[in-house]
């Protein structure tokens, strides 16, 4: 029988104080938050369907998680591949809680998505005969990964999408604009977004439909492949607006991040292992044979735990990725990785690359239906911030860019349709939020507290967890969240930290509730997979419109919809 737990969580509805009467208001049919693959695809689709669209970016249009994606896009294009095989591989890696219909929709949309990207100017790598050069990654039974510049796929895709968005006459772009909160009407419907411009001015965007494509929250962790902007803002603001969350305990750790003490972590793409790279410990022992039959091409959760286990057993800060036996020169195959490693005196053709796992992808997120609708009217979500049912408990490599392209396009089209049925609702000019604006007696070290949170999450909500560690993390996060809410000044650094604390709190609650190990969620005190837990973890907020006062944790069958219809 499903369990429903109620947990106290007290948070302000709006992060920043404002009075709607004093806000400049921009009006559009559809507002999209985020300029990565999901957001750009949604914006282009909504504009093509006749909507006026605002695309709001936290940083530059090209500074996204998509930009840093190295692996590629999975699509059924090879003569020996089929849609059914790609679906089966995805379901297998997802450990029993994927939504079959979502997987099928995304997989079947792959070839058309690659065609769109090519038309928009993405130049994918090709073989000598002119056909697309397809590679293989962990969990895939066929060569189906298209890439550009070896491991520079994300850069190529992001540039093409950003150029297309800027060139479209019906899309207005607003870069370096911090989205603080979703604005709701008296019924709870989302009708706009409160933002701060790069000049520090508060503005409102009024919209018939709002699409969140704000990416993940890798900055929750000390070790991460994600850029600095990945603080989970969209997920947290959706929760404050009343949206249901799903499967936040599942956070994928990429097994191979370049590890140089003091340097930013750089992803070493899975296509390197797909080309023949092998993992060694400090004694130069190839260890993946001891952990899984697929060795280096096992699913990412298994490879990450194996790397972590080997680091502990050998008392080393990393393991090592060896490319010396590749058939072709790794410098030619992976020029981007070669350049980065050369900065640190590493010749990837002969020197093993020091690597360790890092937080990479937020598998859970805002619960959405097949069209991308959330449980809140007027609000949609796509890409990494959404839980579409594609990934289940463990994302298969290169399925995420595919998801953003296919479901982003679909959500943009549906949102444009709905914008014709639900015209703009004016923001109530009497709407206001009053909040304490810090304390003159107590100064918070936002940087120190952020680093403390990241370290706590790495230690206690990382690759290996247990109930004692999780519950201790919940207590600390709750204490920090109350302190920041009461004492921090109203500025982006504080808002980012509050968003991170919100997601960390929710993820830890979900992890504590799931008393089993499945996919990317591994608990050493419940190390087995349990059939009774073949379900989603759903978190539904409760509140009175001015505060989020509690969260209810429930379990829903993979066959059941968690969304209010």
Q: Would you please indicate which residues are annotated as catalytic (active-site) residues?
A: 300
Q: At a CB cut-off of 8 Å and minimum separation 6, what does 201 contact?
A: 24
DSSP per residue over 311-366, as a string? HHHHT-S-EEEE-TT-SS-HHHH-HHHHHHHHHTT--TTTSPEEEEEEEEEE--EE
Residues 6+ apart with CB under 8 A from 540: 244, 245, 375, 551, 552, 554
**Gap between the Cα atoms of 336 and 151, Å rounded:** 6
Helix (H, G, I), strand (E, B), or coil: what is residue 12?
A: strand
Q: What b/e sequence results for 391-403 when a residue is b if at least 16 CB atoms lie within 10 Å of its CB, and e otherwise?
A: bbbbbbbbbbbbb
SS3 of 432, please? strand
End-to-end CA distance of the chain: 23
- Directed axis angle between helix 83-93 and helix 100-108, to 10°? 140
* Residues 488-497: b if buried by 16+ CB within 10 A, e if exposed: bebeeebbbb
269: closest CA among 401, 114, 78, 93?
A: 401
Chain centroid to Cα 194, Å, comes to 22
Residue 133 CB neighbours (<10 A):
17
Taking alpha carbons only, the member of 274, 308, 267, 276 closest to residue 291 is 308
Instruction: Select from 307, 405, 363 the least CA-distant residue to 93.
Output: 363
Partners of 25 in the beta sheet? 204
Q: Is 245 exposed, middle or buried (0-12, 13-18, 19+ CB in 10 A)?
A: buried
In whole angstroms, give the CA distance from residue 260 to residue 541.
41
C-alpha span between 490 and 426 (Å, rounded): 26
| 320 within 8 A of 280, measured Cβ to Cβ | yes
Vertex 553 angle, CA 552 and 555, to 5°: 135
Q: Could you tell me which residues come within 8 angstroms of residue 443 by beta carbon, excluding any fewer than 6 positions away?
A: none
CA distance 272 to 280: 14
The H-or-E segment that residue 212 falls in is strand 202-212
Which stretch of DSSP H or E encloses residue 112?
A: helix 110-119
């Amino acid at each position: 029988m499903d369990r429903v737990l109620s947990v106290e969580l007290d948070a302000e509805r709006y992060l920043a104080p404002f009075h709607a009467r004093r806000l400049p208001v921009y009006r559009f049919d559809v507002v999209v938050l985020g300029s990565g693959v999901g957001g750009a695809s949604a914006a282009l689709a909504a504009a093509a369907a006749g909507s006026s669209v605002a695309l709001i970016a936290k940083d530059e249009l090209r500074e996204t998680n998509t930009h840093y994606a190295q692996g590629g896009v999975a699509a059924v294009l090879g003569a020996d591949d089929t849609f059914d095989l790609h679906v089966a591989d995805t379901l297998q890696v997802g450990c029993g809680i994927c939504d079959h219909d979502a997987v099928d929709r995304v997989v079947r949309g792959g070839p058309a998505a690659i065609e769109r990207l090519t038309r928009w100017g993405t130049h994918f790598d090709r073989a000598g005969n002119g056909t697309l050069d397809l590679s293989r990654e962990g969990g895939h039974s066929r060569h189906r990964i298209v890439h550009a510049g070896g491991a520079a796929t994300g850069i190529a895709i992001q540039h093409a999408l950003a150029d297309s968005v800027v060139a479209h006459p019906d899309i207005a772009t607003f870069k370096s604009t911090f989205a603080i909160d979703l604005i709701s009407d008296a019924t709870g419907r989302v009708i706009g977004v409160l933002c701060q411009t790069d000049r520090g001015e508060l503005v409102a965007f009024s919209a018939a439909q709002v699409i969140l494509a704000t990416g993940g929250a890798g900055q929750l962790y000390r070790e991460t492949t994600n850029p600095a902007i990945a603080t989970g803002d969209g997920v947290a603001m959706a929760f404050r607006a009343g949206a249901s969350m799903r499967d936040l305990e599942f956070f994928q750790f990429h097994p191979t991040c370049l590890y140089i003490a003091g340097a930013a972590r750089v992803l070493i793409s899975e296509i390197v292992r797909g080309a023949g790279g092998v993992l060694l410990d400090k004694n130069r022992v190839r260890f993946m044979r001891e952990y899984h039959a697929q060795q280096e091409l096992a699913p990412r959760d298994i490879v990450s735990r194996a790397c972590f286990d080997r680091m502990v057993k050998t008392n080393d800060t990393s393991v090592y990725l060896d490319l010396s036996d590749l058939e072709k020169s790794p410098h030619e195959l992976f020029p981007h990785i070669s350049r980065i490693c050369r900065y640190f005196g590493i010749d990837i053709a002969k020197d093993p690359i020091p690597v360790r796992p890092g937080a990479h992808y937020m598998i859970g997120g805002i619960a959405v239906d097949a069209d991308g609708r959330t449980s809140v009217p007027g609000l949609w979500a796509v890409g990494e911030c959404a839980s579409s049912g594609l990934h289940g408990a463990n994302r298969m490599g290169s399925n995420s860019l595919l998801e953003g392209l296919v479901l982003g396009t679909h959500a943009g089209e549906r949102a444009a349709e709905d914008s014709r049925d639900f015209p703009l609702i004016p923001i109530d000019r009497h709407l206001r939020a009053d909040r304490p604006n810090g304390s003159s007696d107590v100064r918070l070290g936002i940087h120190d507290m952020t680093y403390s949170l990241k370290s706590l999450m790495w230690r206690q909500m990382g690759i290996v967890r247990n109930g004692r560690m999780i519950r201790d993390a919940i207590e600390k996060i709750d204490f920090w969240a109350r302190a920041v809410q009461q004492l921090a000044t109203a500025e982006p650094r504080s808002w980012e930290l509050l968003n991170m604390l919100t997601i960390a709190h929710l993820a830890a609650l979900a992890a504590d509730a799931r008393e089993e190990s499945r996919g990317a969620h591994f608990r050493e005190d419940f190390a087995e997979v349990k059939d009774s837990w073949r379900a989603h973890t759903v978190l539904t907020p409760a509140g009175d419109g001015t505060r989020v006062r509690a969260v209810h944790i429930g379990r829903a069958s993979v066959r059941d919809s968690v969304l209010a219809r």
